[in-house]
Structure 1
Amino acid sequence: MSNALADTIDEVIVDPKTYGDEHAYHDAFHWLRQNDPVHWSEPADYRPFWAITRHADIMAVELNAANFLNDPRQFLVTTADEDALYEQTGSRKFAENLVAMDNPKHKAYRALTSAWFGAKSLRSLEDEITALARETVDRMIDTGGTCDFASEIAAWYPLRTIMIVLGVPREDEPLMLHLSQKLFGSVGGADGMAGMVEAFNAFNDYFSKVTADRRVNPRNDVATILATATIDGEPIGEAERNAYYLIVAAAGHDTTSSAISGGLLALLRNPAEMAKLRADPDLIGTAVDEFIRWTSPVKHFFRTAVADCEVGGKQIRAGDSLMMCYPSGNRDEAVFEAPFDFRVDRKDAKKHLAFGYGPHLCLGNALAKLEMRILFTELLRRVEDIELAGTPTWVEASFVSGVKSLPISFRAAQVET
C-alpha cells in the first residue's frame, strides 16, 4: 500500500466502495497487520473504534465475552444513522437478536434453536437439501449453458434451504430474497439506516402472521419453535421473536450465497485447484472451509470493552468499540501458510474466523457447510467446462458483502442423475 493510501486508511476501511473491490480491502488490512494491527480509527461520519486485524487478537477478544460485549454496537453505521435510530426507538441497537445479546440472555435465546441446528436435525434435513441441490443444478443446466451464477443460482439455493428450516412457502421466496438483500445491502451500503428499518419492518409484518399461524397450526419447523418459545416459563418478547426470525432468514441466506459464488469464482480463477477437486471429491469438506475462509462474507462485527484492558499491546479503555476484521484474520500470515493462495486441500483452512469465534460462533455454521458441500458435489458431478463469461462484480457494503454478479458459461456432463 502506498503512503497516500496509508494516510487515508481510516476512510478506506469504512467506505462501502472498498468492499466492492476484492483487492482494496485486503490491501488495507494487510497494511494494518504489518504496521498497526490494533489500530485506533477516527473516520469522518462514524464514531471512532479500534480495528482488530490479527487472527490471534480477534480470537482473544471474542473468547472474552465477559469483558467484550456485543451490546450496544454491532456493525458500522454512520453517526447520523445511529442518532436517527435513537430518536426513533430510544436505542442505538438495530434489533434485539442473537448478535446484539450478551449472556445470560444470549445463552438462553441461543438454546431455543441450538438443537435444531445441531447434527441430528441436520441429518434429517440432508435428503431434502440434496433434492434441492439437484433441482438447483437442473435449473442451472436448463439455462442452456450460460447464466449469472450469483443471481440466478447461488442466491436461491441457500434461501430455499432457510425457508425449509423456517417453514416458509416457496411462493414467498422472492419477497424473502428481496428483503434479506435489502437489509444487508443497506448495512454499510448506500441506503443506510432507512433501508435497514424498511426491510426490518417488512420482516416483522410477515413473521407476525407466521407466528399467529404456528400457534394454531404447529409444524416441525423453527417458526413453530419461535412462535411458542418460552424462557423461565414466560413467552419470549415480540421484539426478540421477530429479530430471531430475521437473523435466521437473512443471515442464513446472504452469507452462504456469497460463499457459494465466491467459492466458484475462486475455482474458475485457479483451474489446477478445480481439477484437483474434481479428481478427488473427498476433498470437498476441506474445500468448503477454504471457500469460506477465502470469501469471508461477514466483514466485521463489533465488541465494546467493559473495563480498561490490553489487546495486542494497545491500551483499550472501558467503553471503546472494537471492530473484528474477519477478512484480515483469514489472511493472517502468522496463521495461514501462503494465505493469499487458494487451495482446496488447505490443511489449515478450518482455522478461519468467518463464522466468528467463542460464544457467538455462528449458530448455523454446520448447516451452511452442509449446503455448500452438497451443492458443489452435485455441481461438479454434472457440469463441465465452466468458464467466466464476463467480469464479476461485488456488492458495495461494509458489513456483509460478496460477489454480486458472476456470468459463466458451461456444459452439462453426460451422467446419470
Structure 2
Amino acid sequence: MTTTTSMLTKAKAAITDKVQATVPVDRQVRAAHLVKKAQRFAGLSTPLVFTEQPIPDPADVPLTEIDVSNPFMNRQGKWYPYFARLREEAPIHYLADSPFGPFWSITRYADIQAVDSNPDVFSAEPYIVLGPPPLEIEMFIAMDPPKHDVQRKAVQGVVAPRNLKEMESLIRERVQEVLDGLPTDEPFDWVQAVSKEITGRMLATLLDFPYEQRHKLTYWSDTISGTAEGTGGTTHQDEMFAAAEELARSFVALWHDKAARRAAGEPDGFDLITLMQTSEDTKDLIHKPMEFLGNLTLLIVGGNDTTRNSMSGGVYALNQYPDQFEKLKADPSLIPNMVSEIIRWQTPLAYMRRVAKKDVHFGGQFIRKGDQVIMWYASGNRDERKFEDADRLIIDRKNARNHMSFGFGVHRCMGNRLAEMQLRILWEELLERFDRIEVVGEPEYVQSNFVKGYDSMMVRLTPKAAPAQAGAAPAEAASAA
C-alpha cells in the first residue's frame, strides 16, 4: 500500500510539473486568483480584516493571552514592552488562539539562535510568515536543505565580495544623485524621496530591470508581502494577485529578453537573471513557473525591506539619540559599526516562522510536531542578556555585529553585505553634505507584524556650511559660510 501511494504521489507531482511548465505563470496566478474569488463568493473563505484598537499596557493582559502578532503593536510602540515581559516571564510562550492560529513565541537571543540553527528539527517550509499567503509560490527561504542550498547557491554569486567591490562605485553614484536632488531647509518625506528611491535603483541594477520602471519593484514588494492573511497588512487579495500577475509577466519577458541578448553575443553580466540562466541548477527555472515567481519575489522583497527601512530607521534613531549623531560627526570612522547597530536597533523584519518537524522538548516546554514556532528577531535584538542597555542606540557598541536581523545558519540573509554597504555609503555621503537631519513629527508606520517599516517620515535637512575660501576677506569668508 505504501509503495502504491508513493507511486501515485510521484505521478501526481509529475503531472503537476508538466502542466505548470506549459501554462504561462501569469495565467497560473490569474487562475489562482479566480479560485480565491470563487471561494469568497461561495462563503468558503473570508479575507482577514484588522481594525486598529488601543493596545493595553502589557501588565494588564494575562500572560496566556499576550498576542504579539497584532499588526498594530509596532505602530503604537507596544511591541518592546510586551517582548520585555515575555523574555522575563515566558521566553518560550504559547498562544492558543490568534487570527493566525496557535503559535509559540521564542523571544530570547540564545533560544532564537538555537531554533534558527537547527533546520533538522525546525522547518522553514512552506512559508516564513505567520499566516498562509493567499498565493502559494515556492521560494528558497521557505525550503529546507538540500533543495534550499541548491537554489541559494545559484544566485548568491551576485553578492560575492568581488561583485560587491565592482558595484560600490555604482551604488555611490546613485546615492549621490538622490542626495544632490533633495530640498534643504524645508520638510520632505524621507521614505519616498530617499529610502524607496535608492532601494528601487539598486533593485533595478541587481535584476537588470528597466531602470525607468524601477518604482514597480518596491510597489510589488510592498503589495505582495503586505496581505492581511500573511502578515496582518492592508493589501486586499485582489490587489496582491494583480501585482503578482504583473510581476510574473514582466520577469518572464525579462528572462526571455536576456536570453535572446546573450544568444546574440551580449557578454554575461553579474545580475541575478544572468546568474540563474548560467547555473546548471536554475537554468531551466523558467519551466517551473511558480518556483520562478517565488524566487524572484523573494529577491525583490529581501532586497527591499532590510535596506529601505534601515535607511529610515537610522535617521529616526539618531534623532531619538542626538548625542550619538554628534559622536558620529566627530568620528565618521564609526559608520560601519553604526550601520550594524542601526540594523540591530531597527530590526527591519520582526521574525521568521518555523514548524516543528517532530515532538521536541525545548526551553522547558513541550513543542509538538506541526506547531508553529516564531523566532522574534525584534525581541532577540533587545535582549538584555546579550546587549547591554539594549533599547538604546549606541553607535560604538562593541557587539553590534552580533545582531540577529540577518538570521543564523543556512537561512542567514545572503544579501547582508550588500545591505551593509548601501547603508555605509548612504551615511558617508550624508555626512559630506548635511549638518543636521531633523525628523519633523512622528513617522507613520507600516501596518504589519512582519515588516518593521515606515510609510512616511518628514525630515528637514540643514546643509553643511561651505568652507571659507583661502585668501578671502573676513566679511567674504563669513558670507560664504
C-alpha distance 234-404 of structure 1, shift in aligned 2 (>3 A): closer
Q: SS of the residue aligned with 1:336?
A: coil
C-alpha distance 124-254 of structure 1, shift in aligned 2 (>3 A): same
Q: Structure 1: which amino acid aligns with 2:120?
A: A
The alpha carbon displacement at 1:250 in A equals: 2.2
Q: SS of the residue aligned with 2:97?
A: coil
The residue that corresponds to 1:322 in the other structure is 373
Q: Structure 1: which amino acid aligns with 2:98?
A: A
> Can you list the C-alpha shifts for 1:125-144, whole angstroms capped at 9, x where unaligned?
0000011111121122x466
The alpha carbon displacement at 1:9 in A equals: 4.4
Q: How does 1:15-414 map to 2 (within 5 A)?
A: 15-21=70-76, 23-77=77-131, 85=134, 94-140=136-182, 142=183, 145-186=186-227, 187-191=231-235, 193-218=237-262, 219-220=268-269, 221-231=271-281, 235=285, 237-414=288-465
Q: SS of the residue aligned with 1:16?
A: coil
The residue that corresponds to 1:4 in the other structure is 60
Whether contact under 8 Å (1:40, 1:51) holds in the other structure is: yes
Whether contact under 8 Å (1:326, 1:354) holds in the other structure is: yes
Q: SS of the residue aligned with 1:230?
A: coil
**Number of residue equivalences:** 401
Q: Structure 1: which amino acid aligns with 2:71?
A: P
Q: SS of the residue aligned with 2:159?
A: coil
Q: In the aligned structure 1, how far is the partner of 2:401 from the partner of 2:388?
A: 13
Q: In the aligned structure 1, how far is the partner of 2:60 from the partner of 2:370?
A: 31
**Stretch deviating more after TM superposition (161-170 or 190-199):** 190-199
**Stretch deviating more after TM superposition (181-190 or 324-333):** 181-190
Q: Structure 2: which amino acid aligns with 1:5?
A: V
The alpha carbon displacement at 1:170 in A equals: 1.7
Whether contact under 8 Å (2:175, 2:198) holds in the other structure is: yes
Using CA pairs under 8 Å that are at least 6 residues apart, name the structure with larger relative contact order, 1 or 2.
1
> Can you list the C-alpha shifts for 1:229-269, whole angstroms capped at 9, x where unaligned?
43298656232222222111222012211111011110111
C-alpha distance 72-235 of structure 1, shift in aligned 2 (>3 A): closer
Q: In the aligned structure 1, how far is the partner of 2:339 from the partner of 2:254?
A: 33
C-alpha distance 48-243 of structure 1, shift in aligned 2 (>3 A): same
Q: In the aligned structure 2, how far is the partner of 1:316 from the partner of 1:339?
A: 29
The alpha carbon displacement at 1:17 in A equals: 1.3
Q: In the aligned structure 2, how far is the partner of 1:347 from the partner of 1:384?
A: 26
Percent identical: 31
Q: In the aligned structure 1, how far is the partner of 2:345 from the partner of 2:462?
A: 26
The alpha carbon displacement at 1:193 in A equals: 4.8
Q: SS of the residue aligned with 2:61?
A: helix
The alpha carbon displacement at 1:224 in A equals: 1.9
> Can you list the C-alpha shifts for 1:80-119, whole angstroms capped at 9, x where unaligned?
x66xx4xxx7xxxx32112211111000000001122121
Q: In the aligned structure 2, how far is the partner of 1:228 from the partner of 1:210?
A: 15
The alpha carbon displacement at 1:284 in A equals: 0.6
C-alpha distance 130-255 of structure 1, shift in aligned 2 (>3 A): same
Q: SS of the residue aligned with 1:323?
A: strand
Whether contact under 8 Å (1:74, 1:99) holds in the other structure is: yes
Whether contact under 8 Å (1:356, 1:362) holds in the other structure is: yes
Q: Structure 1: which amino acid aligns with 2:223?
A: K
C-alpha distance 230-195 of structure 1, shift in aligned 2 (>3 A): farther
Whether contact under 8 Å (2:184, 2:463) holds in the other structure is: no
Which structure has the greater CA radius of gyration?
A: 2
C-alpha distance 241-232 of structure 1, shift in aligned 2 (>3 A): closer
Whether contact under 8 Å (1:114, 1:363) holds in the other structure is: yes
C-alpha distance 353-194 of structure 1, shift in aligned 2 (>3 A): farther
Which ranges in structure 2 are unaligned for 5 or more consecutive residues? 1-56, 263-267, 468-481
The TM-score, its normalising length taken from structure 2, stands at 0.79
C-alpha distance 386-30 of structure 1, shift in aligned 2 (>3 A): same
The alpha carbon displacement at 1:222 in A equals: 1.1
Whether contact under 8 Å (1:14, 1:43) holds in the other structure is: no
The alpha carbon displacement at 1:323 in A equals: 0.5
Q: Structure 2: which amino acid aligns with 1:76?
A: L
Which ranges in structure 1 are unaligned for 5 or more consecutive residues? none
> Can you list the C-alpha shifts for 1:164-201, whole angstroms capped at 9, x where unaligned?
11111221112222211222332321236554433322
The alpha carbon displacement at 1:371 in A equals: 0.1
Whether contact under 8 Å (1:73, 1:321) holds in the other structure is: no
Q: In the aligned structure 2, how far is the partner of 1:272 from the partner of 1:144?
A: 22
Q: SS of the residue aligned with 1:304?
A: strand
